[in-house]
Amino acid sequence: MALESTTFGAGGVRVAIEGCGHGTLDAIYASVATASKARGWDGVDLLIIGGDFEAVRNAADLSVMSVPAKYRELGDFPAYYNGEKTAPYLTIFIAGNHEASSYLWELYYGGWVAPNIYYLGAANVLRFGPLRIAGMSGIWKGFDYRKPHHERLPFSQDDIKSFYHVREIDIRKLLLVREQVDVGLSHDWPRAIENHGNATALWRMKPDFRQESIDGTLGNPAAEYVLDRLRPAYWFSAHMHCKFTAIKIHQPPAAEPTPIEISVRETPAPTLEPEQATGNPDEIDLDDEDDPTPAGTTQSAGEPAPSIPQPPSSGVTDELRAQLPASFAAPAQRGPKLNPGQPVPPSITNTTTRFLALDKCLPGRKFIQLCALEPVDPSHLTLYSGESTYYAALTAPILRLGARRLQALDHALHLRLLRPAVALCARREPQTQGCVCGRQAAEDRTPSRPRGSASAALGALLRDDDDLHVLCDMLNS
């Protein structure tokens, strides 16, 4: 599906949001088509699924999915994976707590799970047209948060469950982002987000949530950290199987102090008062805390100090201490400890986040929402109106998917999963015989480079035709 330039200029990007997928891709795509028709749209530019996608390819994947045995079924995904069906809309999703762990572990940094269906990975930031989208996969389990990703194939029963637990090493990547993000995604809700919406209506739908909210255990603390750091205009979640909306207002970010301001605020190194001399410097008093000072050594208030000063007990004189730099000073008194990701850099300017959580795809449930999303910076609507640029900008090498480069990759590697990505560019060029750069077909050329160089080329950022020729040489070898 080629994206027209007018799509981004008339009210923003047309996006469909869906809650938990649970393998019902056919029903989800049919619902998007019906909702688009009811709204007078001819379709959407992007479909976002908020987790529990269940990218199950075969029965082996079912054995490593954290689902009770009676609920295990292949669902609709195998038909899309095998190429029998193609997703009618570009689809991106994050992982939830019911996923095919073995398959998604292969795509830790994100990637195409099927034609026109993209997985964001454990934590990632990508751009779709004028929108900058950040996503984090998994749910919160505090006992695994600070652990590494220790799961390895073949997964044990514990690995199947801990695979989808949020890890700090992934969240810290998102907390390092210093530029504005437009859309945020998490499977479970950010912690305490219910306090910014109609909590009374939520308690009526989910009575058990009330006590969890009081205890502070409702929601994901890591998602709260990311939300308060990135402050996107929109945040979408799922997991709780109910529809809930909220609006969170953030305080404007304060300007960070410059290094000069920091150095001015440093306090000088403390100095110690010289010890008062006693009558007998060699005397050792073992009970100096209990016994009074001997009468012979008592010094009156008007008596001058001894002529021979005694060095401090540490052996460092005041003259040496005065030469120490300010960095040796005792740390200044600090205020309350801030949450990870704080303070927010001045480059993140948005102060209002609209939160939406949706249900799972079942009859009578509120699981789909169509929105026309606009970026925080309105200039991005015109800046990215010519073509849709898609790249992973956080945890994977940057890939700018233009039509020429995608066709080169498609021809050289013969990968079906990359072909649908050509739809991300509005200026698609006709297919050519052999390489799009005009070179001879790969089958007729003599290998000149080792095959190992092909994988290295995939991470390259291509800018011009010369780089395209080099890539074709490397992939064709």
**Residue 291 covered by a domain:** no
Q: Is residue 3 part of a domain?
A: no
Q: Which of 451, 404, 410 is nearest to 428 (CA)?
A: 404
Q: Is residue 387 part of a domain?
A: yes
Do residue 114 and residue 241 come from a single domain?
yes
Inside any domain, residue 353:
yes
**Cis-peptide into 306, omega within 30 deg:** no
One domain, residues 472 and 345: no
Could you tell me which residues come within 8 angstroms of residue 77 by beta carbon, excluding any fewer than 6 positions away? 23, 25, 53, 54, 55, 56, 57, 114
236 and 346 together in one domain: yes
Provide the domain limits for residue 27.
Answer: 13-252+341-396
pLDDT at 170: 97
pLDDT at 173: 96
| Tokens representing residue 198 in the block | 């109609």
Quote the CA–CA distance of 80 and 76 in Å, as a whole number.
Answer: 7
**How far is Cα 123 from Cα 173, in angstroms, rounded to an integer?**
7
| Judgement on whether residues 245 and 193 belong to the same structural domain of the protein | yes
**Alpha-carbon distance 236 to 241, whole Å?**
13
Are 456 and 368 part of one and the same domain?
no
Task: List the structure tokens of 178.
Answer: 């210093």
Instruction: Evaluate whether residue 301 is within a structural domain.
Output: no
383 and 468, same domain (yes or no): no
Strands 244-249 and 352-357: antiparallel
DSSP string, 92-141: EE---SSSBHHHHHTTTT-EEEETTEEE--SEEEEEETTEEEEEE-SB--
User: Which DSSP letter does residue 67 get?
Assistant: S
**The pLDDT of residue 435:** 42
CATH number at residue 25: 3.60.21.10
- For residues 76 and 31, state if they share a domain: yes
* Residues 356 and 467 reside in one and the same domain: no
Distances in Å between the alpha carbon of 24 and those of 32, 35, 73, 114, 363? 12, 17, 11, 15, 12
pLDDT mean values, one per 10 residues, the chain (477 residues): 43 94 96 96 96 95 90 93 96 96 93 97 96 97 95 90 95 96 97 97 96 96 97 97 97 58 39 48 52 48 55 71 82 81 94 97 96 93 63 37 44 39 36 40 38 39 40 42
In this structure, the answer to whether residues 442 and 354 fall within a common structural domain is no
- Is 4 within a domain? no
pLDDT of residue 161: 92
Residue 132: beta bridge partners?
A: 127
Q: Look-up: residue for tokens 């069906």?
A: 85
> What is the per-residue pLDDT for 420?
36
* Whole-number pLDDT of residue 135: 98
Cα–Cα distance, 24 to 122 (Å, whole number)? 22
Supply the pTM of this predicted model.
0.68
Q: How many domains does the chain have?
A: 2
Q: Are residues 387 and 438 in the same domain?
A: no
* 265 part of a folded domain: no
Same domain, 367 and 462: no
Answer yes or no: is 159 within a domain: yes
Question: Are 69 and 148 members of one domain?
Answer: yes
